Amino acid sequence: MVLTRMKKRMISRKKFFKKVIGKIFFEELEWHAAERTKEMEKRLQNQKQMVSDISHSLQTPLTVMKGELELLKQDTPLNKKLSVFERSIDEMSAFISDLLTLARLESEARVTKQTPINISDLCEEIVEYLEVIAFSKRIRIIPLLEQDIFVCGIRKKLTECIQNIIGNAITYMKPSGTRTISITLTKEDECAILLIADTGRGIPTNELPCVFERFYRVRESKTKTHGTGLGLPIAKKIIENHGGTISIESVLGKGTTFTITLPLHLKDKKEQSPM
């Protein structure tokens, strides 16, 4: 009887110590995980700051070089090598500018300022602006925009994102056949849905998962057009910072469709809610 009681006490103590030790172990594990996360976040922040600092440092000498080049062009206007040099400087400057933009976007938190933006009007303005460029390249832009759809965010950033994607569609349009870009805006399930569909060259299926990665450029386009490989990562980060999503579908030789979703402004959400 005494042995049975002692046995029970021993088992009870074992369970108690096991529970305490287990709790201490998991608490220590959680602490280490939290410290590791802080360390990684700090390293990432330092890396972003370093990219920003380097970009700023490079932009200054490029500006000086561009100024000196302008003087050289005045002295030797027929020197074709200067034009090549100028183009190289412009490309490098554009690359650094995009790198700075992406670094800033990645360091920013999600946009929480409830500034209403009429994205219907915004898209109309972008279409009017880009139609001139598209027309000169024999490309037709077809806007199908539902009126007075409001989202929240920063107008300048959303303009940059949408212009970037439509600009890409113009740049990578196929040389012949149907040459159109359709821009469709609707609202559904408390979201604004923007579709930008072109009849361009398209993207190989195996390359689609990579298009939003930094510096990635579709293989076919590398030798035909100039670009930094940062346009789509910038567009993606802008949309994500606005609480939205962006996705891509494409068929090689037939065209590409980007789908952007953005949360509606509270006014539009209330109007969509059932009575």
112, pLDDT greater than 80 = no
Range of the domain at 231: 116-272
Name the residue among 168, 180, 173, 195 with its Cα closest to residue 262. 195
Q: What is the CATH number of the domain that holds 6?
A: 1.10.287.130
As a whole number of angstroms, the distance between CA 262 and CA 172 comes to: 26
As a whole number of angstroms, the distance between CA 234 and CA 243 comes to: 15
The residues with which 262 forms a beta bridge, in sequence order, are: 192
139 and 249 fall within a common domain: yes
pLDDT at 94: 74
What does DSSP assign to residue 118?
E
pLDDT at 246: 96
176 and 202 fall within a common domain: yes
Backbone dihedral region for residue 261 (phi beyond 0: left; psi -120 to 50: alpha; all else: beta): beta
Using an 8 Å Cβ cutoff, are 122 and 115 in contact? Answer: no
Q: What is the CATH number of the domain that holds 161?
A: 3.30.565.10
123 and 101 fall within a common domain: no
72 and 22 fall within a common domain: yes
Which one of 107, 133, 157 terminates a domain?
Answer: 107
16 and 54 fall within a common domain: yes
95 and 121 fall within a common domain: no
As a whole number of angstroms, the distance between CA 33 and CA 184 comes to: 45
Instruction: Render pLDDT for 15-44 as a digit per residue (tens, 0 to 9).
Output: 655 565 666 656 666 666 666 666 666 665
43 and 125 fall within a common domain: no
262, pLDDT greater than 90 = yes
pLDDT at 218: 66
Using an 8 Å Cβ cutoff, are 117 and 133 in contact? Answer: no
Q: For tokens 């009575």, name the residue.
A: 275
Total domains, the chain: 2
Which one of 47, 76, 107 terminates a domain?
Answer: 107
| Distance in Å from the first CA to the final CA of the chain | 72
83, pLDDT greater than 90 = no
Instruction: Render pLDDT for 144-173 as a digit per residue (tens, 0 to 9).
Output: 999 999 999 999 999 999 999 999 999 889
Which one of 83, 107, 131 terminates a domain?
Answer: 107
85 and 141 fall within a common domain: no
66 and 165 fall within a common domain: no
165 and 236 fall within a common domain: yes
136, pLDDT greater than 80 = yes
95 and 140 fall within a common domain: no
Instruction: Render pLDDT for 185-223 as a digit per residue (tens, 0 to 9).
Output: 999 989 999 999 999 999 888 888 888 887 777 665 544
| Predicted TM-score (pTM) above 0.75 | no
